């Protein structure tokens, strides 16, 4: 009888610990899924009538208490709401530390004549990039995948657009992040 009581007590203790770990992991996954993101910078490497070469720095904010690894991304790059390029990386291994911000850098190359129907539109875009950055809309839309040991979060959605000027002005402004899930009534 005494051995049975000890056995039941031991099983109850293990069950309680297991349930506690499960609840903790469930909460951390919920926090991982409430990540925030923004475009930190768009670096114009080359911009002419036949070739545009950009480097885009995307910031992802991890709000959980566990480190994860970003394993791949598939993102469309938009200029003035037109998809101009698709960038992807399926072999990436970037650490996304707990309660921190990680950078994803990606290069974008495209021929503007393939997306803007006339030479006048291409020239107008080039003029606005250099002279009127507040009239150029830059967007990134797609997915990122993250994992931590046996926890994998597929298709973390990223959908962000802003003006080129606001990217240049608020790269260090913490309030300009977009967040997937509202917390306490705020984004």
pLDDT on residue 83: 92
Topology annotation, domain 35-179? Immunoglobulin-like (2.60.40)
pLDDT in tens, the chain (187 residues): 777 777 777 777 777 777 666 666 666 666 666 677 788 888 889 988 888 898 888 888 877 777 888 888 899 999 999 999 999 887 878 887 888 888 888 888 988 888 888 888 888 888 888 899 899 998 889 988 888 777 777 777 888 888 888 887 765 666 667 776 544 434 4
The predicted structure's pLDDT at residue 184: 40
State the pLDDT at residue 63: 79
Q: What is the pLDDT of residue 20?
A: 65
CA-nearest of 60, 74, 70 to 93 is 70
Task: Give 181-185 contacts, CB < 8 A, sequence gap 24+.
Answer: 181/33, 181/34, 183/34
Confidence at residue 120, expressed as pLDDT on a 0 to 100 scale: 87
Residue 185, Ramachandran bin (φ over 0: left; ψ between -120 and 50: alpha; else beta): left
Per-domain residue ranges of the chain: 1-32, 35-179
pLDDT at 141: 92
Residue 183: its pLDDT value, please? 41
The pTM of the full predicted model, rounded to 2 decimals, is: 0.71
Query: How many angstroms separate the CA atoms of 153 and 22, rounded?
Result: 16
């Amino acid at each position: 009888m005494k051995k049975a009581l000890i056995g039941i007590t031991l099983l109850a203790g293990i069950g309680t610990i297991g349930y506690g770990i499960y609840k903790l992991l469930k909460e951390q996954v919920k926090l991982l899924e409430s990540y925030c993101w923004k475009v930190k910078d768009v670096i114009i490497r080359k911009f002419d009538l036949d070739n545009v070469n950009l480097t885009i720095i995307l910031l992802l904010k991890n709000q959980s208490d566990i480190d994860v690894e970003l394993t791949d991304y598939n993102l469309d790059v938009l200029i003035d709401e037109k998809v101009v390029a698709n960038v992807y990386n399926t072999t990436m291994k970037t650490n996304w530390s707990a309660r921190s911000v990680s950078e994803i850098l990606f290069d974008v190359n495209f021929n503007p004549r393939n997306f803007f129907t006339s030479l006048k539109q291409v020239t107008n875009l080039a003029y606005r990039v250099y002279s009127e950055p507040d009239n150029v809309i830059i967007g990134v839309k797609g997915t990122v995948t993250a994992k931590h040991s046996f926890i994998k979060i597929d298709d973390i959605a990223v959908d962000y657009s802003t003006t080129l000027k606001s990217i240049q002005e608020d790269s260090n402004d913490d309030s300009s992040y977009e967040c997937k899930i509202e917390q306490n009534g705020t984004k």
